[in-house]
Structure 1
């Protein structure tokens, strides 16, 4: 009677599970860890071929296998004239993960075969696999063959334990991985089964697919875990806090004589049984010195006869106690800083920062600034750092604010004459740096001597023992010393006037000519002169700002009339060798021309009053009389006459 009841209960559970998901045929209770997990591996293309016993299809070492061929790859790109979808990863999104890419044979056939060993007898298992139709909807004139798969679980002698048909797997607008599966129960004496995947559709245009992640997992009652007093399955505990938790698990009907076992792991490591933890309730205490980490707990369940085998157990979703390390703030500052500069406070290892300090200071942020900091703001600053898990740690940093010197100078401006020097004086610190260093006896002392050529502003940076600085400036204005130039000598005809072409340089200068006789204004730089006889004039340029005086002289030649020699003897004896008319210098514009008795021009002089040496075209002219013609372009106008050359 008991045996019949057990059979009835198993059938009832299976029917109940089936009724929850008629389409997927997947386990609706709790699953065990995968006994078989065929992922096809990972790596670069192409992946290795499957064993000869696994498939009757032929291995193809590149992308895009033909009818009756398969390959193992981590991607497929636009095969057969872009009539296949491009897959860039396996079904988990792993760009290096392999999948089996299949182009069905013309005739329906089994394309995958595997023997699964080590199952537990009298145990319900879920078989599942992920499949994608790689054919584009538009391919084959919108009428491509659709994969239609039959999954069969058989005993090793060929007896079928369970089959499941996927139905037609339609093409999609984009590649969609779908999970197909079902559950089956092993007979008491069966531990090895055969998995066969049969493609019912014909090959040709279409019926192309990718296969990935084949799993076998124990299927049993629904295990619903919880942490007493907590709505979530994970609780966070900050390092240094002592906590106690009670883990419970509600088990739905399904096992006749269930055996329970709690397991634990640390940081996603291997699950291990907790000795003596064999009820649906587990109490766990965490001491204040418990190391940070993610502590996992889960309940496993199986029939009493299969309790020793991990492959027979179903497992609840895990519960976690995550002991989070407190932040390590590492509070610091950029000090010591000088008063008036920018203070930077910084801390790390958190998502929230709360700063407090002297003078009721408060701020937030991993890095905060205090501009123009003062000595009153020196002292200890605290920061409460909180991480993303809500764990906090208090840290502090001591800020030192040093005083700044007050730069002083003995004068802010000074006027000197060119060529003079002045001693600069600065104070208020222990170190001095002058800029620019040009024309300084030293740029690193408090009292250098400055002798600039041009007006210069000097900046002195004064530092103290804390390397804090202040600055001051000194303007040294350089006045030029005067220079005087009386201009060129002048020549005039008595009774006429001439402009004296004096020039000068310097600032704030005045002018004076000596003697002042026959000058229209001796205080002008360029007065008009009309002396009655030869005379020397001297100009004096005086600086009003104490930079001295300068003088220069010139001569005015005064001719009573224009004297024109009537003869000369260019014989090289040093006497009367040239014909020269000095008074022509009194005429700025004139033209002198000499002709021989044939009317040929043998000499000409315009405006420069160069004497004639009796030569023409490099050869001496013959002795005799020559006619001259002088145009003065002013009174008395044209002068004519003859000059005799005596050899």
Structure 2
């Protein structure tokens, strides 16, 4: 790519070559910071020619992008410098190696130690094979001269910085001391690489700032550089001592400073000693000390160094959390969160009572396990100070209207009234009606949303169908029971007197006689009836003369005008016969006792179907 000439320096004064290194003490505010954000260089800074895009031999550019035309370079600059923007991109001249950057730095304080620093990067991509014989690393010499340019105050070499697969910035620094009577220096940068392929570099964030002793601020009986005070314990005072490490300064002048935000600082009038005693502190304050070798250099931050700050945190008692409102919810619905707002540096705890009580949750939002009033308090995060007052937040759970779905039957060609139920409710039917009840004529599904004064709703469903046809299929009279069986499948009501209807088709403990069976649909559209005889006949007889079930007799037959009964054995032989009224059989035939077994009867009643059955004789 190019050959770089080895640079020979001629030292005008007898200075010793210095090692690079950072200021190990306290640093002041930068008096010079070149981040190349303006995109230009002052005249005389370099003899190289500026171009757009990637520069070739003997050219430079100021840009935040690289590797657009030169494929052997990295394609980007990593964001690990201070400014993360433009950088100075230099492609050294094969025929004019050596000095490539020179800049006068003004505004320095006399007889003050300074730190110079800059970021460098080898922009050659180590993963490429553009240098068959191996790349040449970058190697830069920094030189700080007095304002005459005749005296070298400090110089140092970066050493070889080889390329890498991924681009990496490296910050280098050099310390020096300004001379008495002079407030300017000259910065020079030399390319110390040898000729060959490689040796391409970028530079960013050139900074000059004062370097002083590392000064520590401490307070008796405190191991930390801060003091925490809860608001009820304020105001407080602190005693502070500044202790320089004497690595830079041979003498010390002090100026104590105060800040409310650890950013903007004000001098404290009259506080220029090593020790400092504060006035009563009622709110958070930060203290630090500005240090210089001479009191005249304390006038500006550019000529002095500062210690780390000592903080006095006055922890304010939090205000009561701000509630986002009480909440109402209907039973069965998801329970929402109770929420409060506090300051960003505060945490929230929830309790079950206004004072004391049990902690039930933490955090700004809380899903309560049940209805009730809960209390939120705020506490400053990270401090062991008392919380502020509690804020009540309430969750109410309201009941919904109780509903039971209904199945109704509609008489053909008629109408039916559907009633949603009485209450202090509002109604919304799927038909559009808003009344408690509606009249319908169609068989289909109907629904109504019932809402109570709390705003909770339930849905009641009505299924309306055409009535089941009521028709008597069979009447069974057995013992003291009567069973009315419908001819069709459906839901019906049954009665033996035409007035009292029931859902069961079985009637128990019915005395013998002439009865009328009734069956009707649930809506009473149609009622059918049928008269039938109910004769109470014994299921068995025990002719042992104990007075209980000794004879086969017919109870209730006296209600019929004419009847006749016959008793058979299993072979069909008639064993006894006669009129039903007054009939009695003792289980004998021709004066002899018949054996224990089943026997049959046939009862004829005028005007009714014959009644047949059987009973058991037990001895």
- The TM-score with structure 2 as length reference comes to 0.64
* Partner in structure 2 of residue 395 of structure 1: 390
Q: Is the 8 A contact 2:349 2:362 kept in 1?
A: yes
Q: Distance in 2 between matches of 1:360 and 1:339?
A: 25
* Partner in structure 1 of residue 160 of structure 2: 168
* Partner in structure 1 of residue 436 of structure 2: 446
Q: Is the 8 A contact 1:116 1:195 kept in 2?
A: yes
Closer, same or farther: CA 221–237 of 1 in aligned 2, 3 Å: same
Residue 69 (str. 1) matches residue 59 (str. 2): yes
Closer, same or farther: CA 239–52 of 1 in aligned 2, 3 Å: farther
Q: How many corresponding residue pairs?
A: 452
Closer, same or farther: CA 75–311 of 1 in aligned 2, 3 Å: same
* Partner in structure 1 of residue 87 of structure 2: 99
Equivalent position to 1:463, from 441, 452, 459:
452
* Partner in structure 1 of residue 184 of structure 2: 192
Deviations 1:571-592 (A, max 9, x none): xxxxxxxxxxxxxxxxxxxxxx
Q: 1:209: how far off?
A: 0.8
Q: Distance in 1 between matches of 2:417 and 2:192?
A: 108
Q: Distance in 2 between matches of 1:77 and 1:327?
A: 57
Larger % of helix: which? 1
Q: Is the 8 A contact 1:233 1:319 kept in 2?
A: yes
Equivalent position to 1:346, from 327, 339, 362:
339
Closer, same or farther: CA 77–108 of 1 in aligned 2, 3 Å: closer
* Partner in structure 2 of residue 114 of structure 1: 103
Equivalent position to 1:251, from 218, 226, 244:
244
Q: 1:169: how far off?
A: 2.5
Q: Distance in 2 between matches of 1:201 and 1:433?
A: 92
Q: Distance in 2 between matches of 1:147 and 1:508?
A: 102
Tell me how large the CA RMSD over aligned residues is: 3.7
Q: 1:224: how far off?
A: 2.1
Q: Is the 8 A contact 1:479 1:507 kept in 2?
A: no
Deviations 1:442-462 (A, max 9, x none): 7312232233333x3534514
Q: Is the 8 A contact 2:120 2:204 kept in 1?
A: yes
Q: 1:406: how far off?
A: 4.5
Q: Distance in 2 between matches of 1:404 and 1:172?
A: 72
Q: 1:394: how far off?
A: 4.0
Q: Is the 8 A contact 1:105 1:202 kept in 2?
A: no
Q: Is the 8 A contact 2:376 2:393 kept in 1?
A: no
Q: Is the 8 A contact 2:35 2:206 kept in 1?
A: yes
Instruction: Give the alignment of 1:515-526 within 5 angstroms.
Output: none
Q: Distance in 2 between matches of 1:226 and 1:73?
A: 46
Q: 1:165: how far off?
A: 2.4
* Partner in structure 2 of residue 320 of structure 1: 311
Deviations 1:236-278 (A, max 9, x none): 6666762443333211235343211122334354433221121
Q: Distance in 2 between matches of 1:469 and 1:72?
A: 71
Which residues of structure 2 form unaligned runs of 5+?
1-14, 471-487, 492-518, 528-619
Q: Is the 8 A contact 2:146 2:152 kept in 1?
A: yes
Closer, same or farther: CA 445–65 of 1 in aligned 2, 3 Å: same
Q: Secondary structure at the match of 1:306?
A: helix
Instruction: Give the alignment of 1:475-624 within 5 angstroms.
Output: 475-479=463-467, 545=521
Q: Distance in 2 between matches of 1:309 and 1:462?
A: 76
Q: Is the 8 A contact 2:81 2:204 kept in 1?
A: no
Q: 1:178: how far off?
A: 2.1
Q: 1:369: how far off?
A: 2.0
Q: 1:65: how far off?
A: 0.8
Closer, same or farther: CA 459–77 of 1 in aligned 2, 3 Å: same
Q: Distance in 1 between matches of 2:460 and 2:261?
A: 64
* Partner in structure 2 of residue 368 of structure 1: 366
Closer, same or farther: CA 37–207 of 1 in aligned 2, 3 Å: same
Equivalent position to 1:262, from 237, 256, 260:
256
* Partner in structure 2 of residue 431 of structure 1: 425
Residue 48 (str. 1) matches residue 39 (str. 2): yes
Residue 140 (str. 1) matches residue 145 (str. 2): no
Residue 28 (str. 1) matches residue 16 (str. 2): no
- The TM-score with structure 1 as length reference comes to 0.61
Equivalent position to 1:158, from 149, 162, 166:
149
* Partner in structure 2 of residue 273 of structure 1: 267
Q: Distance in 2 between matches of 1:403 and 1:29?
A: 69
Which residues of structure 1 form unaligned runs of 5+?
1-14, 42-46, 483-505, 510-542, 550-647
Q: 1:185: how far off?
A: 2.1
